[in-house]
Structure 1
Amino acid sequence: MRAGRRTAGGPGRAVAALGCWALLLVVLLPLLVLRSLDARFGAALAVQCVVVVHTGAALARVLTDVRARLIAFGFWLFSYVWLGLAPLAMLATDAYPRGFVVDAHTAFVSTALVETGLLAYSAGSAVAAWRAGRGSAVLEPVLARRLAPGRVLLLCGAALLLAVVLIPQQGGLSAFFLSRQAANEAAALAEPSGSADRAMSAWLLSVPAFWALVALVHVPRFQAGDRILRGLRRLLLPLLAAVNVVVNNPISQPRFWAGTVLLALVFGASWLRGPRAFRVGAAAVAAVVLVVFPYSDYFRYDKREPVRIVSLAEQFTSNGDYDAFQQIETGVDYVRTHGFTPTAALGPPLFFVPRAAWPGKPDDAGILLARHAGYSFENLSAPLWIESYMWAGFPSVVAVFGLIGAVGRRIDGLRHRLRRHRGTLAALLVPAFGFYQLVLLRGSLMAIVGPLALLVCIPLLITRKPGRPSPPAAAPEPVAPADRTAPSLCTGGTRT
């Protein structure tokens, strides 16, 4: 009787929770952003209201889903904050964090471009959910890979060796607790032309240290016969934790990466894989992104002014961290001036080819947009929406976002299916990629594809295909005397 009441009340509670989240995200927060603004209604703002409703409703659905969907959560969280609420404030006031401002037609095309990508993502996700029962011949074997303890220990040794070698080259321990401004200025004075080499050295230090710590936490523990592994774990865990505090701290590292490291460790824990715990954790992350993130750049500069609390609307229209929509507008204006560049799509997958061997290698999209806008600085974002639009217009946006929507939904489904298996690639990689997705969506691709390759390849190297377990020994069945010469064979099923 109790189970029946729980089943009957479950859908009602789910609908009520969805309604509460939708009310907060679709109505209350947008009104909070707009209440102190003298809004100027126009075609672009009308489409932007559709974007806010779409992203808010989708995020509410993820926060109340019966499954933990990390990939969908990362996508819709970025879309809601950076391409939903922030542009709402910008378009209502015609105020932007950067100096380059476009006309009303370009703003309208930009909002339509954002909504087109969101619709394509939703359609791809819906198709993947409809075909979920058919499995995936490519993704499932990959995400089912298991950690190999020997390879994990080799990675731990390599991460510690890289720390011993590269930390002194980067300026010693103290250099990792300087502001990012001071660290960049010191590095530029030491090697004015070696920015790419410095960046790669930093990632070679940060990413292996992160994966070594995560893998050591998740490596399966056996009931007996692993005394050496347990002893090495106790020895290596504090060492790797200390290395990560040094090389992956939020003082000298970008906030998006430091947040990825922390959240991947937290959401990779077994107690957060269930839907209820995930919903609580995801709601906390969303609140932190909205409330704390704007003030988390306190350590970026040497001269630190007292923290001044301002409204969400003022943050969105004055803080350069929310320039994603303005960069999309700049990109639409760039395409109107220079046309589409399909060959630029080759740049990210072939990032490792040096420019000496490829003289016509495409430039970073963020740099192109900064030059087009006439900025004196070039380290700017290029959201995936505008980067794919610069390749071939709206058709390439539909193709790209339809694909990532389908793949993301399939990955979430496979992680849910494998959630009870320890040490799988799904348990490691999906939380990390789910939150690193914010960096991927913000762009530009040329700037992040190298670290992304490291982020994906290292866990592939320390895992192996799951072995087929031997069938359990079965007690022999009683056999009639006449059948002694032909005993029956008992076959056991394999565990999935």
Structure 2
Amino acid sequence: MTSVHEAEPSAPVPERGPRDRDLPPTKPMSWAMLSRALAVPLTLALVCFLPAVIAAQPGSGVRDTAYWLQLVLTCYAGARLATMILSTRRRLLQGVFWMFVYIAMGVAPFAQAVIGQTPTPLVGPRSDLMTAVALVLVGCAAFDLGALLASRRPLRDRATARSANGPATAHRVRLRLLVLLALVASGYYVLKLGGPAIFFTSRQEISDSVAVSGVASGQSNVGSAFLKGFGTVPALLALLFYTRRLVTSRRARRSPSTVLVWCVLAALNVIVNNPVSNARYWFLTVLVSLLFTAFPSSAAMYRSVLALGVVGALVLFPYADRFRYDGAGYRPVDSSSVFEPLATKDYDQTVMFANTLAWVDTRGHTYGRQLAGSALFFVPRSVWSGKPEDTGVRVGQWMGMNMTNLSAPLWTELWVDFGAVGMTGAFALVGYLAARADRRYARAVSRAGPGPGSVTAVVVPLIAGYTFILLRGPLLQAMGKPAIALLCLLLVTSFRRRDGRNPY
């Protein structure tokens, strides 16, 4: 893999063809000197300064093997995140992965280890926590190995590999059908819940309205998941495609109809995808995917998202659930330290992994059953009576928790089904696929890419934003919206070769 200070070899710039005439001229990148100037202070801040500040906090934590392993994991993830931020290439999926690991599996659990308090109780022996941290480190190393293997294998160009097909682009007519689907589905969602005003109250009001609407039953949440999914996902995906068109095509910016459709989609997303009526992780998906789509070639935006994302997750995220409940149900965070909310809210991933180890010790591995339940999330429980519940819910019930809406990070999901060997291999595969997708994204947003209609230039930012949800888990809760997005992509994607003509 490329070092932080080492510039990637630049590929020869192809001549502009008719397909590229609407793309803005590219400017030579001069980030190498900036990377060198920022490398030392940024690396020291992530790897040394922040962990040292946390370690100096008062608390009753025990400084045993689990503590030192957590410190190693925090420093390792901080170094990898600094590498992603200062890389000469934009690695969206890998960058977001390391940002999540640094925050949710590194800094937050380290603060919990120092303070001596966790959001969820540890039910087993402390050795389970030590094993959990060690396994997270193993998964991270496997991810790095997979990414390294991907960097050694050249990309195949679909257009040259199969002469009958071209790169994946959005079909003009089918994209209009997606816009129509978004308007109809989101309009039905808004009307079913009682109008736009309810989307600016609280998530509790949204849940109550969904329950009253009759789409959900006591045994299954499939109906409510489809209502929320189709009400939010097509609108976001259509907005991303039209944003891609506007930022890369002068012709689109000069078209009043295109600008009008984008304005309508933007207004629609303000209603159905705002931070008041949606979970914080989903709004984070909306924000990250929109920024990466609107600024596809901006190294400054890429670095800002990763760097400021750390600050936002540590300082703002624990307080961002202001609209989860109405005024009577909201309980503000009362803390004397910026690190205290990390030990009392949200970031329970590491301790839940440790609790899952104890649960598996008593019940055994499920050998793919949990993942099968996630993959077949759309099957109602009335049809599949033995359909697995969320992994976090099952572990929470075993723990005797009253509130079982607990996280189940990807490490947990893979451990429950496949054990250490399967988890390690799966993370190597995830790292491989993430690195390949990042390289395809870099090609898609370049001058040699498919142009404004590139599907890859929209899909990779969307996956990058949703990575937080996939890594946090549980997967069963997280599968609905990606499935709807896949259906929308199947609707609009075309592989027809256009003989160099602009796809729009």
The TM-score with structure 1 as length reference comes to 0.85
Cross-structure match for 2:20: none
Give 1:380 shift: 2.0
Residue type at the aligned position of 2:291? V
5+ residue gaps in structure 2?
A: 1-27
Structure 2: distance between partners of 1:74 and 1:61: 12
* Secondary structure of residue in 1 paired with 2:479: helix
Unaligned runs of 5+ in 1: 1-6, 472-493
Separation of aligned partners in 2, 1:105 and 1:277 = 42
Shift in Å at residue 287 of structure 1?
Answer: 2.4
The Cα of 1:120 is off from its aligned counterpart by 0.7
The yes-or-no answer on 1:179 pairing with 2:202 is yes
Give, in angstroms, the shift of residue 144 of structure 1: 3.6
Match of 2:400 in 1: 374
Q: Letter of the aligned partner of 1:446 in structure 2?
A: L
- Residue 485 of structure 1 corresponds to none
Match of 2:477 among 429, 435, 447: 447
One-letter code aligned to 1:296: A
AA partner of residue 441 (structure 1): L
Query: Which of the pair has more CA radius of gyration?
Result: 1
Say yes or no: does 1:127 pair with 2:139. Answer: no
Alignment-derived partner of residue 426 in structure 1? 456
The alpha-carbon deviation at position 423 of structure 1 amounts to 2.3
Whole-Å separation in 1 of the counterparts to 2:250 and 2:259: 16
Kindly state the Cα deviation for residue 35 of structure 1 after the two structures are TM-superposed.
Answer: 1.4
1:360 to 386, 397, 412: 386
Determine if the alignment matches structure 1 residue 148 to structure 2 residue 148.
Answer: no
Cα deviation for residue 296 of structure 1 reads 1.0
Q: Which residue of 1 aligns with 2:10?
A: none
2:42 to 7, 10, 21: 21
Query: Deviation per CA, 1:373-419, whole angstroms, max 9, x where unpaired?
Result: 11112222211101100112111111111111000001101111221
1:103 aligns with 2:125: yes
Give the superposition deviation at 1:105.
1.0
Report the equivalent of 2:320.
Answer: 296
Match of 1:260 among 269, 275, 285: 285
1:114: Cα distance to partner?
A: 0.8
Shift of 1:366: 1.5
Shift of 1:311: 2.4
Query: Quick one: which of 116, 140, 163 aligns to 1:118?
Result: 140
What residue identity is the alignment partner of 2:68? A
Deviations 1:168-199 (A, max 9, x none): 11222222122112332444456452633122
In structure 2, what is the equivalent of residue 488 of structure 1?
none
The alpha-carbon distance between structure 1 residues 19 and 445, as it changes in their structure 2 partners (threshold 3 A), is same
Contact 1:143–1:414 (CA under 8 A) maintained in structure 2: no
Task: Supply the distance in 2 between the matched residues of 1:325 and 1:387 (Cα, whole angstroms).
Answer: 13
Q: Distance in 2 between matches of 1:211 and 1:122?
A: 30
2:96–2:306 Cα contact (<8 Å) kept: no
Secondary structure at 1:219 match in 2 = helix
Contact 1:255 1:296 in 2 (8 A): yes
How far apart are residue 152 of structure 1 and its match? 1.3
Q: CA 1:223–1:77 in 2, change beyond 3 Å: closer, same or farther?
A: closer
Match runs of 1:380-419 below 5 Å: 380-419=406-445
Distance 1:130 1:299, change over 3 A: same
Q: Once the two structures are aligned, what percentage of the paired residues are identical?
A: 31
Distance 1:280 1:428 in 2: 19
- In 1: Cα distance, 2:176 partner to 2:234 partner: 12
> What is the aligned partner in structure 1 of residue 21 from structure 2?
none
What residue number does 2:64 align with? 42
Question: How many angstroms apart in 2 are the aligned matches of 1:448 and 1:437?
Answer: 10
Aligned pairs for 1:86-235 (under 5 A) are: 86-131=108-153, 133-135=154-156, 144-188=167-211, 191=214, 193=218, 195-219=221-245, 230-235=255-260
Deviation at 1:340, TM superposition (A): 0.8
Displacement of 1:147: 1.7
Mapped to 2, the partners of 1:28 and 1:114 lie a distance apart of 22
Moved more, 346-355 or 237-246: 346-355
TM-score normalised per structure 2: 0.84
What displacement does 1:432 show?
A: 1.0
After superposition, the Cα gap between the structure-2 partners of 1:404 and 1:470, relative to the gap in structure 1 and judged at 3 Å, is closer
Task: Say if 2:285 and 2:466, in contact at 8 Å, map to a contact too.
Answer: yes
**The 10-residue stretch of structure 1 (234-243 or 203-212) with the greater mean CA deviation from structure 2:** 234-243
Following superposition, the deviation at residue 434 of structure 1 comes to 0.5
SS at match of 1:145: strand
Contact kept? 1:120, 1:398, Cα under 8 Å: yes
Q: Is the 8 A contact 2:166 2:496 kept in 1?
A: no
Change (3 A) 1:70 1:458: same
Q: Which moved more, 1:149-158 or 1:73-82?
A: 149-158
Q: State the Cα distance separating 1:290 from its structure 2 match.
A: 2.4
Shift in Å, 1:307: 6.2
Cα distance change, pair 370–26 in 1 and its aligned pair in 2 (3 A): same
2:265 to 236, 240, 256: 240
Per the TM alignment, residue 82 of structure 1 is displaced from its structure 2 partner at its CA by 0.4
What one-letter code is carried by the residue in structure 2 that aligns with 1:274? S
Amino acid at match of 1:119: A
**Residues 341 and 392 in structure 1, CA contact (< 8 A), matched pair in contact too:** yes
Structure 2 vs 1, CA of residues 135 and 17 (structure 1 numbering), >3 Å: closer, same or farther?
farther
RMSD: 2.8
Contact 1:100 1:373 in 2 (8 A): no
Q: Which amino acid aligns with 1:167?
A: V
CA distance in structure 1 between the partners assigned to 2:31 and 2:199 by the alignment: 49
Matched, 1:274 2:298: yes
Compared CA separation, residues 33 and 411, structure 1 to 2 (3 A): same
Cα contact 2:149–2:432 (8 A) shared by 1: yes
SS at match of 2:387: coil
Q: Aligned partners of 1:12 and 1:273: how far apart in 2? A: 18
In structure 1, C-alpha distance between the alignment counterparts of 2:170 and 2:354, rounded to whole Å: 44
Give the distance between the partners of 1:431 and 1:10, measured in 2 at CA. 22
- Of 491, 501, 504, 1:461 maps to 491
Partners of 1:67 and 1:274 within 8 A in 2: no
